[in-house]
């Protein structure tokens, strides 16, 4: 990372050709985010190659899934997606699935640009966030979300507690 500004960031839809880069960024973000939340042994099983397989044909999921990648100098540094609610008791019709951004690009407005690319202004939606990941709470609260519930979820073979954030 050099002297890039927010103007140097390109936000565009995820493409099938992005699978390898997405896997690499996804693995790095998981290691940066979940270190201390998930065991080291479990995180060692998270590989760029394994995650790249998850991203193969991601763009073909249909119009209901909104997705975007953030690029600087042609390199993916983060991505986000939203889509139809996946929970039977969903508090909104749409769910914000994720925003992943490399640590070195946090607090530069890129997460906000990614969020805005996959969510309509004021759109009611919800999301799940690891309870032990407090860094993201302010991000979502600034966008009108509030805590609405909690659950234990299996994540990479380990149980973590997630909190549900809702924006009515």
Does 68 map to a domain? yes
Dihedral, CA atoms, 95, 97, 103, 105, nearest 10 degrees? -70
What sign does the CA torsion over 137, 135, 79, 58 have?
A: negative
Does 1 map to a domain? no
Q: What is the pLDDT of residues 84-98, one digit of tens each?
A: 999 999 999 999 999
* CATH (domain of 37): 3.40.630.30
Does 163 map to a domain? yes
Does 85 map to a domain? yes
Does 31 map to a domain? yes
166 has a pLDDT exceeding 90: yes
What is the spatial distance between Cα 87 and Cα 95, in angstroms, rounded to a whole number? 9
Strands (E), the chain: 9-12, 66-72, 75-84, 94-101, 125-130, 146-155, 158-167
Number of domains in the chain: 1
Q: How many CB atoms lie within 10 A of CB 43?
A: 18
**Containing structural domain, residue 156:** 6-167
Does 32 map to a domain? yes
Does 141 map to a domain? yes
Q: What is the pLDDT of residues 34-46, one digit of tens each?
A: 887 888 888 887 8
The whole model's pTM is what? 0.90
What pLDDT does 37 receive? 82
What sign does the CA torsion over 146, 149, 152, 154 have?
A: negative
What is the spatial distance between Cα 45 and Cα 27, in angstroms, rounded to a whole number? 10
What pLDDT does 5 receive? 60
Does 56 map to a domain? yes
Residues 6 or more apart in contact with residue 49 via CB below 8 angstroms: 23
């Amino acid at each position: 990372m050099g002297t890039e500004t927010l103007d140097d960031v390109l936000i565009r839809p995820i493409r099938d050709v992005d699978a390898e880069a997405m896997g690499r960024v996804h693995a790095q973000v998981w290691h940066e985010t979940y270190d201390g939340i998930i065991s080291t042994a479990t995180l060692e099983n998270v590989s760029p190659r394994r995650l790249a397989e998850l991203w193969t044909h991601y763009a073909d999921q249909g119009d209901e899934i909104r997705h975007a990648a953030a690029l600087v100098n042609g390199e993916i540094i983060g991505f986000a997606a939203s889509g139809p609610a996946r929970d039977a008791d969903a508090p909104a019709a749409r769910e914000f699935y994720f925003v992943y951004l490399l640590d070195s690009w946090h607090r530069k407005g890129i997460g906000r640009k990614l969020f805005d690319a996959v969510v309509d202004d004021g759109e009611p939606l919800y999301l799940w966030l690891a309870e032990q990941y407090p860094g993201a709470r302010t991000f979502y609260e600034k966008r009108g979300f509030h805590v609405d519930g909690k659950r234990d979820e299996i994540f990479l073979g380990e149980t973590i507690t997630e909190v549900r954030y809702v924006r009515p």
